[in-house]
């Protein structure tokens, strides 16, 4: 009598297929991207033929003067905006070709966001803010609890699960935001000026935390920043000027 077939985990199979399909592909690609806005009768060229490739596991900073296109590039990668021309691909998918519903799912499942204003929900506790994406994904309660408690420990907030944002310092709120951003194991985490609203000591702690998450968990980070402390930690710095890459500096 033949032995029964072994049960397989469909989620593991899906992960394996995704991994196999993207093993030799860039994580993020911007291909000759332009983004033009209109302010009244004036056209503002935020990006002018920008091409950029980001590999999995990078710790990359987009930098440059105000108006250079840093935040615009981050918004395009995060499917918060669409290019005027060119392509923005995440894991091989052209984001502009997706429906709004599909873009929402990409943002929920594959992209983590860390904003300078934290953007936590005031009436929710640290635990509830960090688990929010997992609830939206329908992750079972026990698994959510296990993952969120571990995340909050990892970001130095063990024992603070029940605190609301108003009961936390700026640095603690940003740690919750980081935990929330990576809770769903996204493909990439986008951090827009994450150190802008904290003091120097807290900024150093947050950057060390994100660097640790990058090295130990393989979390890909793309920063938009003016902060020299972020640039000192980054292993790749892409300098933008007038919506184009001025130079691309890689470090070991």
Q: pLDDT tens digits for 187-242?
A: 999 999 988 888 888 888 889 989 988 998 899 999 999 999 999 999 999 999 99
The answer to whether residues 56 and 222 touch, using CB atoms and an 8 Å cutoff, is no
- Torsion of the alpha carbons at 123, 140, 211 and 29, rounded to the nearest 10: -100
Looking at residue 199, what is its pLDDT? Answer: 86
Give the phi and the psi of residue 152 in degrees, each rounded to 5: -65, -35
Looking at residue 9, what is its pLDDT? Answer: 42
Looking at residue 4, what is its pLDDT? Answer: 43
pLDDT above 90 coverage of the chain, percent: 72
Q: For the chain, list the domains and their CATH numbers.
A: 54-84+98-250 (3.40.50.300)
For the entire predicted model, the pTM comes to: 0.85
Q: pLDDT tens digits for 96-146?
A: 999 999 999 999 999 999 988 889 999 999 999 999 999 999 999 999 999
Distance between CA atoms of 54 and 86, rounded to whole angstroms? 16
The answer to whether residues 231 and 195 touch, using CB atoms and an 8 Å cutoff, is no
Q: pLDDT tens digits for 156-183?
A: 899 999 999 999 999 999 999 999 999 9
Query: What rounded mean pLDDT belongs to the chain?
Result: 88
Looking at residue 24, what is its pLDDT? Answer: 62
> Of 134, 32, 139, which is closest to residue 84 (Cα–Cα)?
32
| H-helix segments, the chain | 10-22, 70-77, 100-110, 126-137, 141-154, 170-182, 200-217, 228-233
């Amino acid at each position: 009598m033949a032995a029964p077939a072994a049960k397989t985990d469909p989620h593991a199979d899906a992960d394996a297929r995704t991994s196999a399909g993207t093993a030799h592909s860039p994580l993020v690609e911007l291909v000759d991207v332009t983004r033009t806005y209109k302010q009244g009768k004036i056209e503002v060229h935020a990006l002018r033929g920008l091409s950029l490739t980001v590999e999995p596991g990078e710790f990359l900073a987009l930098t440059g003067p105000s108006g250079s296109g840093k935040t615009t590039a981050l918004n395009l990668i995060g499917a918060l905006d669409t290019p005027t021309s060119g392509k923005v691909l995440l894991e091989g998918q052209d984001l502009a070709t997706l429906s709004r519903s599909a873009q929402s799912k990409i943002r929920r499942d594959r992209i983590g966001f860390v904003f300078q204003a934290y953007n936590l929900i005031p009436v929710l506790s640290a635990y509830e803010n960090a688990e929010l994406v997992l609830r939206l994904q329908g992750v079972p309660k026990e698994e959510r609890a296990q993952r969120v408690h571990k995340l909050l420990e990892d970001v130095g907030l063990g024992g603070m699960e029940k605190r609301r944002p108003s009961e936390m310092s700026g640095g603690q709120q940003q740690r919750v935001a980081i935990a929330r951003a990576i809770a769903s194991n996204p493909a990439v985490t986008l951090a827009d000026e994450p150190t802008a609203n904290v003091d120097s000591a807290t900024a150093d702690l947050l950057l060390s935390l994100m660097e640790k998450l990058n090295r130990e968990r393989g979390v890909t980070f793309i920063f938009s920043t003016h902060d020299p402390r972020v640039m000192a930690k980054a292993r790749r710095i892409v300098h933008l000027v007038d919506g184009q890459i001025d130079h691309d500096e890689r470090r070991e």
